[in-house]
Amino acid sequence: MQCGDVIYRSTLPQNDGLTITAPGVALALSAVSYLWATPGVAPGFFDMFVLAFAERLFRPTFRKDDFVLGKKLGEGAFGVVCKASLANPEAAEKQGDVVVKKATEYGAVEIWMNERVRRACASSCADFLYGFRESKAKGKGAEEYWLIWRFEGEDTLYDLMQSKEFPYNVETKILGDVQDLPKGISRENKIIQTVMRQLLFALDGLHSTGIVHRDIKPQNVIFSEGSRTFKIIDLGAAADLRVGINYIPKEFLLDPRYAAPEQYIMSTQTPSAPSVPVATTLSPVLWQFNRQLKRCDYDLEAWRNLVEPRANAELRRGFDIMDLDDGIGWELLTSMVRYKARQRISAKAALAHPYFNREGLLGLSVMQNVQLQLFRATQKDYSELARWVVGLMAKSGTEDAGGFTEAQLQELREIKPKKGSAQRNVLASVLRVQRKIVKTINESMDELASQRKSIWWSRWIPRE
């Protein structure tokens, strides 16, 4: 062997450890950002496979015989809610009163959602204790789900709003004392600000953990006497976007009085119609809720100009409250109630709105205060970035800059191939393929939902 053919391993470059490169760091940061982006893939896996399992080992267990049902608190389409106490006197004294809901069709969904909320954002919703499935003999009807919460109070926001004293009847409840202000719109505005802030924080907590409630209304907001805050209840219509539970495309579980305009259709869960004469008589009542806004093309400014001249005293007072501080409340309202969902402000962004910055941070914990201030600081940068991107898109979307307008893009989607215009044909083909892919995915999701035979996530719910 010639000595020139021998290459000693010691002469090769040595790799002493992990080599950090700029592309590698960028890729790692991108992966981490994706895993922790809303609704949170990594936290979702940890919650489902670690926290849920550990919680199951230590949480209390109940049977239906452990409870003595008392006063009925409410009844809905999917269950009956009662105040109750534990049958064991010693346990009852230690635990205190509870709220029991006996549900049927959507009980499994509600147990799943309440378990998730208790682990991820407990302060957003009522304090959930336990949920189980009641075993029934064959031929005895559908299975029944029992859900148990800690009793925190009976007053819903709807009940409080029915009082002639509203909003003064909630002043001491949420602020702890009467404000040193005369009765009037300024004092009422501070109370309403606090109520709205508590609701938005609760809603943001749900959204941050990947849960969309889909039935927010005063009846589904309860006042917790212990924490002196408003909390969200009734998660039977909620959807868990991390794993797709209770999300069925083109199907809505909603109250038409509070539904967003684009969802203003009859719910698939709407009870069967009454007799024809009764249905005909009552139908204008249902649709009147949406008629005025629709007539104004869902433009709140136009709607206000239409109704304000002949508004009653209560509605005028509402306009006066929103017009305080140069109309900052009206500005927030118009940003929250927009026809196009993508243009609506989020709960987190609403909390950062100047409407909540004029009077300080009423009723917030230290962590909520820090989170809000951090978001406000970063929101300024996001706003500048958004304006820059929008300006860039507008500039490049004009013929003068060599781009396409929205009308031209729509025309390209429908254009037929022509000879001598290869670039234009390629772009049109890409847009058509994109549209076909989206359509195929939507149709596949609909087919999977229609073929669903059982609620798979209900298997982990304990039986009685």
Residue numbering of the annotated binding site? 102
Nearest to 221 by CA among 127, 148, 147, 125: 125
**Contact present, 329 and 321 (Cβ < 8 Å):** yes
For residue 281, count other CB atoms closer than 10 A to its CB. Answer: 11
Whole-angstrom distance, CA of residue 247 vs CA of residue 242 = 10
**What HEC string does 22-75 produce?**
HHHHHHHHHHHHHHHCCCCHHHHHHHHHHHHHHHHHHCCCCCHHHEEEEEEEEE
Backbone angles phi, psi at 252, to 5 degrees: -125, 135
460: exposed, middle or buried (C-beta count within 10 Å: 0-12, 13-18, 19+)?
middle
**Contact present, 185 and 321 (Cβ < 8 Å):** yes
Segments of 341-397 assigned E as strands: none
Residue numbering of the annotated binding site for ATP? 102
Of the residues 215, 297, 320, 323, which is catalytic? 215
Segments of 229-277 assigned E as strands: 229-232, 239-240
Whole-angstrom distance, CA of residue 456 vs CA of residue 464 = 18
Q: Which amino acid is at 370?
A: V
CB proximity list for 188: less than 8 A, separation 6 or greater: 167, 168, 321
Query: Alpha-carbon torsion 158, 161, 162, 163, what sign?
Result: positive
**Catalytic annotation on 215?**
yes
Q: List active site positions.
A: 215
